[in-house]
C-alpha cells in the first residue's frame, strides 16, 4: 500500500436522489479506489475513499463534472488505512 491514503469526505449540495452513490461507486471502481459511500439523514453524503491521492482526486473531479450533481461544500480529512479492504460499496 505504498503511497496510498484514506480520506473521509462529506458532501453537501444536491447530492441525494441524483445518482451520487452509484456514480461514485462507478468512478471509484474505474480508478481502483476502495471504500464506501452513504446518504446521511441531513441530506449530505459521506464517503471513505482509499487509494492513490491522484485517483481519489479524479473520483471527486468526475462528480463535480456531473450534470445532475451539485456539490456546494466538501470536507476532506485523512484517516487511517483499512489494510484488508478490497472493493467499493454503497452503505445504507
pLDDT digits (tens, 9 = 90+) for 60-83: 999 999 999 999 999 999 999 999
How much is the pTM?
0.94
pLDDT recorded at residue 92: 81
On whether the CB atoms of residues 31 and 71 are closer than 8 A, the answer is no
Which residues does the annotation mark as catalytic?
A: 21, 39
Cα 56 to Cα 68: distance, rounded to the nearest angstrom: 20
The distance from CA 64 to its chain's CA centroid, rounded to whole angstroms, is 12
- Say how far residue 41 (Cα) sits from the centre of its chain: 17
Asked whether the predicted pLDDT for residue 20 surpasses 60, the reply is yes
Residue 2: what pLDDT?
A: 67
Q: Is the pLDDT of residue 30 over 70?
A: yes
Q: 3-state class of 35 per DSSP?
A: strand
Amino acid at each position: 500500500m505504498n503511497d496510498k491514503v484514506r480520506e473521509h469526505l462529506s458532501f453537501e449540495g444536491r447530492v441525494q436522489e441524483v445518482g451520487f452513490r452509484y456514480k461514485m461507486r462507478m468512478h471509484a471502481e474505474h480508478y481502483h479506489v476502495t471504500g464506501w459511500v452513504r446518504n446521511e439523514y441531513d441530506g449530505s453524503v459521506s464517503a471513505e475513499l482509499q487509494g492513490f491521492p491522484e485517483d481519489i482526486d479524479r473520483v471527486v473531479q468526475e462528480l463535480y463534472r456531473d450534470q445532475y450533481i451539485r456539490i456546494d461544500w466538501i470536507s476532506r480529512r485523512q484517516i487511517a488505512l483499512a489494510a484488508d479492504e478490497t472493493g467499493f460499496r454503497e452503505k445504507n
